[in-house]
Structure 1
Amino acid sequence: MKKILVPTDFSDHAEYALKVAAQIARKNNGEIYILHMLELPHLASDGIGESNAVGTSSALPEVMFFMQKTRERFEEILSQPYLEGITVVEAIQFEKAFDGIITHSKKHDIDLIVMGSHGASGFHEMFIGSNTEKVVRTSDVPVLVIKKEEGEFNPQKFVFASDFSDEIKKPFEKAVYFANSFGVHMHLVLINTPSDFKSTHAAEKRMHDFASKFSIDNGYTSHVYNDVNVEKGILHFANSVNADLIGMSTHGRHGLSHFFNGSISEDLVNHSVRPVITFRI
């Protein structure tokens, strides 16, 4: 996790995400890319990119005004003590929030996106509605969603919920890499529901056979948890073990995995009070 992208609208929740990103960058000797989108509809086709790009529209007083204000906010952020000693690259893009985040992530080979969220009411300002769902669902790199001021971000209990089928191997590999980088103990949980029930023996065997193929430095504990649906099961189990972080996989443009049917990953991002990290299948 050498390159970390933090989209910002300069809200408190965006700063919560930046503080966590700073701790991750410091721990991994990484760098942070801070991105702010200026959504000016009449400039949508003008082709202005990052803040150092030059285009005919850059001469417009309105554009210059907003860019100057954004640079002033960037200067305030860069002066914060928690960023001292960390390489930070700031950028302004004239693009819709979701498009700008995904484009910037691919352009700079980002390893992790860290975003701030209000929770059930959705992301603040530019992170509302479909933007949240699209970034979580379609990002090729892991997305870490921060809900509140975390203080020291040093997760020790990492809950990873899944059905532990073969298609989860790729995202689980990324989850293990994240866990190993923090020395985290993983709690693997399979949620049993009335419509998709497995015996404890079968569920535990599936999890053990799955996990045995990976090197989890700080070990793991497997759990089978019964609940009325998957989302409630994950939230209730995370509460029961006092989890520091919840992880899950998403299925990208083709919908969620068989286990995370419907919009469970997006719902969890909204409803969980704990940090959530998603890994695309």
Structure 2
Amino acid sequence: MYGKILVPLDESQRSEAILPHAENLARHGETQLVLASVVEPQARSTIIDLNREKEVRFQPRRIEQTERYLTGWRNRLRDRSIASDILVLSGTATDGILHAVEQLQPDLLAMCSHGRTGLARAFHGSVAAGVFNRVQCPLLLVRAQTEVRQASNDRILVALDGSQRAEAILPHAQEVARRYGAQLTLLRVLRTNYQTAAEIGLDEPFEETATANDLFDRVGGHQEAERVRDAQHYLRSWHDTLRERGFAAEARLLFGQPIEAIAAVADSIDADLIAMTSHGQSGWTQAFYGSVASGTLHRTARPLLLVRADG
């Protein structure tokens, strides 16, 4: 599934936090890494004299420096028996990455959430959102660390909401789990107004309250009980399916706010990776990247695997 992984770098140590994760995926399968860097114009915002300058200028030394940087990483990866290639692009960070995606058609785009100033100024508002909203390939996002750490994928948390669109993440989660022999934890969160997440057992009966005398209370309680029973059945079904396919799997059902619940479960199982789709049911979110996925990335330092689920 991940035969080619595009890895944008900006020559900063922070952006290199993605490399252990990309290298690990490559090591566990027949995968080629493409290390890419965007050389931005000398002046990102200036008035150009059209009589003298017909195009934005780039410093040749800057291009050579970028090529040396990427070549250095390619050599290091080669010494570790990881196949890689390099790509130097010109333009703005977002446009350069999008151009690389269009030309290379990678199976996965792996990048850090913040890099040096060129990427960090408004990454979530421009580069990350701009890239993710305009590419179809899956995206692996890792929050930048001050030092490059070793990566593993022994425990994968998979966020679902009961919709077919959310299930688009499952083939990717299974692929990673198969490569690493990882355990999959399926999570469904039933949204409530309570900030603190509360777990419901998959086999735990949930009935409407017996003290509800008002008709609206009884109807509301019945609907809530139905919602819980449907979610329990849904998770049990996927749990059993994954076990039949040979995966180590468990399932968790929670009441609460999706972002807080995802972060809480990720912490409780010490997840190495959180996997989810960019869009699910409208009840979960209508702009998933702008809310749950982005909020999860801000809420936890754990890597996030995002797959678009259009339609």
CA separation in 2, counterparts of 1:175 and 1:81?
25
Give the corresponding residue for 2:76. Answer: 80
CA separation in 1, counterparts of 2:179 and 2:137?
16
Give the corresponding residue for 2:61. Answer: 65
Residues 134-173 of structure 1: matches in 2 within 5 Å? 134-147=130-143, 148=145, 151-173=149-171
Q: 1:70 to 1:31 in 2, by over 3 A?
A: same
Q: 1:266 to 1:138 in 2, by over 3 A?
A: farther
**Which deviates more, 35-44 or 94-103?**
35-44
- Kindly indicate whether residue 14 of structure 2 is the aligned counterpart of residue 18 of structure 1: no
Question: Cα offset for 1:261?
Answer: 3.9
Residues 13-52 of structure 1: matches in 2 within 5 Å? 13-40=14-41
Give the corresponding residue for 1:92. Answer: 88
- Kindly indicate whether residue 249 of structure 2 is the aligned counterpart of residue 220 of structure 1: yes
Decide whether the 8 Å contact of 1:36 with 1:92 is kept in 2.
yes
CA separation in 2, counterparts of 1:150 and 1:73?
16
Decide whether the 8 Å contact of 1:22 with 1:83 is kept in 2.
no
Give the secondary structure class of the aligned counterpart of 1:166.
coil
Decide whether the 8 Å contact of 1:19 with 1:82 is kept in 2.
no
Root-mean-square deviation (CA, aligned residues, Å) is 3.2
Return the letter of the residue paired with 1:155.
N
CA separation in 2, counterparts of 1:118 and 1:17?
10
Give the corresponding residue for 1:232. Answer: 260
CA separation in 2, counterparts of 1:216 and 1:144?
25
Give the secondary structure class of the aligned counterpart of 1:28.
coil
Return the letter of the residue paired with 2:86.
E
Give the corresponding residue for 1:175. Answer: 173
Question: Cα offset for 1:189?
Answer: 0.7
- Kindly indicate whether residue 230 of structure 2 is the aligned counterpart of residue 202 of structure 1: yes
Give the secondary structure class of the aligned counterpart of 1:191.
strand
- Kindly indicate whether residue 306 of structure 2 is the aligned counterpart of residue 278 of structure 1: yes
Gaps of 5+ in 2: 46-53, 195-223
Give the secondary structure class of the aligned counterpart of 1:154.
coil
Give the corresponding residue for 1:103. Answer: 99
Q: 1:128 to 1:280 in 2, by over 3 A?
A: closer
Give the corresponding residue for 2:113. Answer: 117
Q: 1:156 to 1:29 in 2, by over 3 A?
A: same
CA separation in 1, counterparts of 2:273 and 2:89?
31
CA separation in 2, counterparts of 1:216 and 1:151?
32
Gaps of 5+ in 1: 45-55
Question: Cα offset for 1:239?
Answer: 1.1
Decide whether the 8 Å contact of 1:115 with 1:145 is kept in 2.
yes
* Structure ID, larger Rg: 2
Decide whether the 8 Å contact of 1:13 with 1:124 is kept in 2.
no
Q: Percent identity?
A: 20
Return the letter of the residue paired with 2:179.
S
Q: 1:216 to 1:15 in 2, by over 3 A?
A: farther
Question: Cα offset for 1:42?
Answer: 7.3
CA separation in 1, counterparts of 2:260 and 2:35?
34
Give the corresponding residue for 1:48. Answer: none
Question: Cα offset for 1:179?
Answer: 2.2
**Which deviates more, 101-110 or 180-189?**
101-110
CA separation in 2, counterparts of 1:231 and 1:38?
35
CA separation in 2, counterparts of 1:224 and 1:164?
11
Decide whether the 8 Å contact of 2:239 with 2:251 is kept in 1.
no
**Which deviates more, 3-12 or 125-134?**
125-134
CA separation in 2, counterparts of 1:162 and 1:117?
23
Give the corresponding residue for 1:8. Answer: 9
TM-score (norm 2): 0.73
Question: Cα offset for 1:195?
Answer: 5.6
Question: Cα offset for 1:132?
Answer: 1.3
Q: How many pairs were matched up?
A: 262
